[in-house]
A and B are shown apart, each in its own frame.
Chain A
């Protein structure tokens, strides 16, 4: 039942925010803050009470695995669709991240959003509610429903409260581009989902969209490959993987701060989550066959994102490109498929959510004060602020993977876990760490060091802003020094994914031996 509340609270809170605006402009902010606080508390309650040594995939093949929490009622019985949610360690961590970054997103837009506050928070809350739905849905129709539903509020956030960059594309353009990219790829996934459902229907005679029923659908290798590709394209656009990434920098540079935090911190994670939850377990053999391609795409993303980040003048575009680079590691880790790498992926997702979220918040704060995000207009800011530059240095260091911070643990585990599987890929991926150091230090150099443009002191961070970023700092240090609680929570889910992936690998290998022996005489 608590699962229902997890996603209902943001929807109800959003409606309240919208309607309460007539009684005052600050009320919607408090309501939104309270809403996200409730979500976070519910998630932490689940963390505290649940036993996360189990997951549905836990006893793969043997049956008997179950979600830690679940909820299911029939929805459209005619087509075998039910309204079902399930929670395991992986989804719990993602929901906690969503709740936390939701709080941050509300806090960081306290001053930035001055008009139509209620409607803004309605969109923000509904978007986060949709994201939580994606993390919890265990019916493929329901999952797709949320996947598409979270786009509309995001579209409004960018189109209505975004920034029009002088000389750049308009915010409506960016929002539309974002929407079309993700929705079109989503429809390809829908075709895949439907085909999977009908393949299952032909094999078993039951029409169902339930995740657990579809898990071991027997199908031919070619069919599996095509269906996997349909899923992969949708996730590749959202992650984003390099040939499909062009919406991300545009969306980020035009989005309001809360939108960017939401986009980088949470929305990109839905793609990584979906790869782990759907693409790999539903199509283990095809995923294994596809792994080299996916891992090289990841490497291309790492290097390409880093190189482009290096050459940006707009701070937000720069952070957007670093996201592409960091998500490349996630892709490599997922398709490496060893448990170490997968655990690294989880840490990387959380750490990137926190660090990229924080960097976007800082970008927003700089823009609020300087009224520009152009690095060429900055320089010497260290002298003009007291708190902001060292904090920014901290997050830049996190982004470059400084040991002791969360990102280091994530990237290190991913590289360690991938090396055994694909040494060449790992070596190329590791260069990303060097490039990350280059662009991060470059950012610090260009923005904060050097000769100040003016000696005038700028308004420093106020208590709200300090609390926001310091919370993120503490969490990032915690994740870097003692990641064990998180690893414990996600262990069962990741071990299960790894097991499925290995079963796909062995099946493919034995099939290959069979064909060679059959062809020998």
Chain B
């Protein structure tokens, strides 16, 4: 291995910790060549899935079979990347999400008549961006990762180019995401102007010494950074793109957008707050509090009268990231753990919900099954698929026995620990309002329909990989809700130290 050391300037251990990123990069090259050689939907999808699984393998062994082999973490790989347990946990989560999206895309794209293969390429590229983001501890790597995460998403959202709404979603996301990136860059520049560094830890050390106008500029920079991140996380008042993009993008892409991309950005936000000591700026925490309350209120209130399931989930995701901010504001090791648990439960649940939408829509190329009306009486036609959507909706509402309850419980625990009564009040109120629209959507599934429905999942939905993935997600939701200890231990091990 010594030639590697000489060649790249990295030690073997550093190479090893980079294994997931390296495998994923290699997969991208292989998939590109495979598409160039021959267009074949099944083959290209399979290569992507195998690549993602291989990238996941070292992380899986690291976390679940520590007796067999572990990654030599933590490692600092150049000043740009720091790979510790925290990064590994979120890398694993993004890879699993990406895997779920790939299988769902396969089910969804079967009915599409255009070129189907590039969607996997874009997905893998975006995943690589996500991995980069969660490992970065430097503004340069953060920005590169963020762009790599977002740019393929423009293509994915607008993938069904012949459909107006998909194209509109892609364009809208492109424009607003670019604006957000501009904000982030400007924020970074302002922070750099005062601290003279782009590394998180160094920023934290120097910002403590700032005073007077320098501190104000630093504050302004951080606020602009927060605005940009707010766009990516669709926190209110930067949420305007969310419902349209969620609605217009193909269902599996929406599921990816709602989970992997937001998880990566939020994981980074937590790391930045801890390492760059952003908690020491009280104004910034106050701004976050305002964003959290606004997101909870706006998300829940606007979801109330939605008749479109994808838009409803979009607004609900705005509210959920409001809840998540409560954990971020609480600060401390328990809060980092709460963020991990909440994101885990949220990702599993959201993937399941969009997974059902995907399977319902897959046989139809013109339009996704997204009106609540399309789901009326689904229970009497596809009882098990409905059970999955029911559990997902209950989990989003935070009802016991499901994953969402554990997540909400954690958030409320850290809130109560830090006496954030105002925010807890918002969470309680938001959850109560949220129940209304989740139940409204849920009860539709069980009402008797008096006419033939246009949309239905194929009868053999459970035999495909997408269906199998959904059943796994359902089990994960219940397991997280009933016996969360293994997951909590995992998240606890992946804390920021």
Contact = CB atoms under 8 A, between A and B. Distances in A.
Nearest to B483: A75
A156 B445 CA distance: 11
Interface string B402-422: 000100010011011100000
Contacts of B436: 176, 180
A7 to B, nearest CB: 13
A144 B400 CA distance: 9
Nearest to A151: B399
B125 to A, nearest CB: 37
Contacts of B416: 191, 194-195, 197-198
A232 interface: no
Interface string B385-409: 0000000001000011100010001
B73 interface: no
Contacts of A188: 428
B236 interface: no
A75 B439 contact: no
Contact of B492 (A78, A183, A187): A78
Given A148-B399, A148-B405, A198-B416, A184 B443 contact: no
B439 A176 contact: yes
A213 interface: no
B405 to A, nearest CB: 7
Contacts of A180: 432, 435-436
Nearest to A202: B417
Contact of B428 (A144, A146, A191, A195): A191
Interface in B423-476: 424, 427-429, 431-432, 435-436, 439-440, 443, 446-447
B484 interface: yes
A151 to B, nearest CB: 8
A75 B484 CA distance: 9
A155 interface: yes
Contacts of A151: 399
A145 B446 CA distance: 25
B33 interface: no
Contacts of A79: 413, 488
A148 B400 contact: yes
B365 interface: no
Contacts of B405: 145, 148
Nearest to B481: A145
Contacts of A520: none
A68 interface: no
A296 interface: no
Contacts of A155: 439
Contact of A183 (B412, B432, B446): B432
A160 interface: yes
A180 B432 CA distance: 6
Interface in A104-151: 141, 144-146, 148-149, 151
A145 B485 contact: no
A152 interface: yes
Given A76-B488, A176-B436, 14 more contacts: A78-B485, A141-B409, A149-B399, A152-B399, A159-B446, A160-B446, A175-B443, A183-B399, A183-B432, A184-B432, A187-B428, A187-B431, A190-B412, A194-B417
Interface of B: 394, 399-401, 405, 409, 412-413, 415-417, 424, 427-429, 431-432, 435-436, 439-440, 443, 446-447, 483-485, 488-489, 492
13 contacts: A75-B483, A75-B485, A76-B488, A144-B400, A149-B401, A172-B440, A183-B432, A184-B429, A184-B432, A184-B435, A187-B431, A191-B412, A195-B416
Interface of A: 75-79, 141, 144-146, 148-149, 151-152, 155-156, 159-160, 172, 175-176, 179-180, 183-184, 187-188, 190-191, 194-195, 197-198
Instruction: List the 9 shortest-distance A-B pairs measured between CB atoms, nearest first.
Output: A184-B432, A194-B416, A187-B428, A149-B400, A145-B400, A148-B400, A195-B416, A78-B488, A159-B443
